[in-house]
Amino acid sequence: MNNRYLILLFVVAGFTSCKDNDNVFKTVLYANVNVINASANTLNFYLNGTRQNISSSLAPGSSSGYLSVPSGSENYQFKKAVTAATAATSTVLFNLPLSLTDSTNTSVYITGETTDMAFYTTDVLEVDTTANKFTARFVNASPDAGNLTCFVGDTVNFANRAFKSTSSFLPVTNGAQDVKIYFEGNTTAQIDTSITFLANHIYTLYTKGLVKGTGNTKFSLGVVVNY
């Protein structure tokens, strides 16, 4: 066989091989997910068997912060954190399918031990750059509290939020502000506290726990700094 013909065959084969290898590498797009633990359990969450909140387990009332995960349809698993009381392994509490769009931010709220006790929101995070303003929203993550109304200061009112619902972000004057939570139809605040908010930040205020709960199930207020 002609040597020049052999060389041509090798070049073509090598080029085809390179093209095939290039096709193997798939571009992975990412989204951001923030898990807020509004349950009574300390939790970890997993994607394809890999724990995502690697820095620490999520204690009741804590959040993971926005973590980068592959976009698209994925199935997340939630487990109780392993302790001496739970032995060496922890079983899956529930699975939560999520379909996340590239470059978006999503908050996932866990309020119990089953899939129906979890919900999520897509977060559009726009910073108010006014010198003395921050933005805040309110989320009702308390399963048995009914509709709730949240006041921040004297003027900002997130009214009649049902369980699993979230308000829009609204601008508020920064500094120490009274935050009050009312049950529907009540004129006395169930929660009345003061929180100091920083200008040009984004906050989520959320309720957690049960109306007659105690300890980790006590009805209470949580705060997430989204930005």
**Model pLDDT, residue 6:** 38
CA 103 to chain centre: 14
**Which band of pLDDT confidence, cut at 50, 70 and 90, is reported for residue 9?**
very low
Q: Among 37-51, 71-85, 131-145, 181-195, which stretch is predicted with the lowest mean pLDDT?
A: 71-85
Q: Which of 92, 136, 114 is nearest to 39 (CA)?
A: 114
Domain architecture of the chain: domains with CATH: 27-123 (2.60.40), 126-227 (2.60.40)
Mean pLDDT, all residues of the chain: 89
